[in-house]
Amino acid sequence: MKVMKPDIEPVLLWCKQELVSVWQRLELLEAGKIGTYERDGSTSIDTTAQTIEQLKMKFSTLEALLAEAQSTNEAPQREGSAGSK
């Protein structure tokens, strides 16, 4: 029985695009060019520090997913190229 490998290219593309988007938001937040706020009645609470931490975690997760996917996809290619030399 042959196991079909799902096409993960669209997912990898999305991960790469999301990684760039998260990185850009992090840069703006850390530079103080933008901030995030939560309304609490008539006042606003600065949530920028929490947002930065959340985006850093998301960035790390996306990097790990991409690294794992690339290592999984490259392993069979290395074996095949070594055998053809």
**Domain layout of the chain by residue ranges:** 19-72
Residue 76 has pLDDT above 50, yes or no: no
> Distance between CA atoms of 85 and 71, rounded to whole angstroms?
21
What's the sign of the alpha-carbon dihedral 15, 35, 48, 38? negative
Nearest to residue 66, comparing CAs of 5, 21, 18?
18
Spatial CB neighbours of 48, under 8 Å, sequence gap ≥ 6: 29, 35, 36, 37
**What is the C-alpha to C-alpha distance for residues 10 and 27, in angstroms, rounded to an integer?**
26
Q: What is the pTM of this model?
A: 0.73
Q: What is the pLDDT of residues 12-22, one digit of tens each?
A: 899 999 999 99
In 10-84, at which residue ranges do the beta strands (DSSP E only) sit? 37-40, 43-46
User: Tell me: the pLDDT tens digits for 51-65?
Assistant: 999 999 999 999 998
Stretch among 27-31, 51-55, 66-70, 74-78 having the lowest mean pLDDT = 74-78
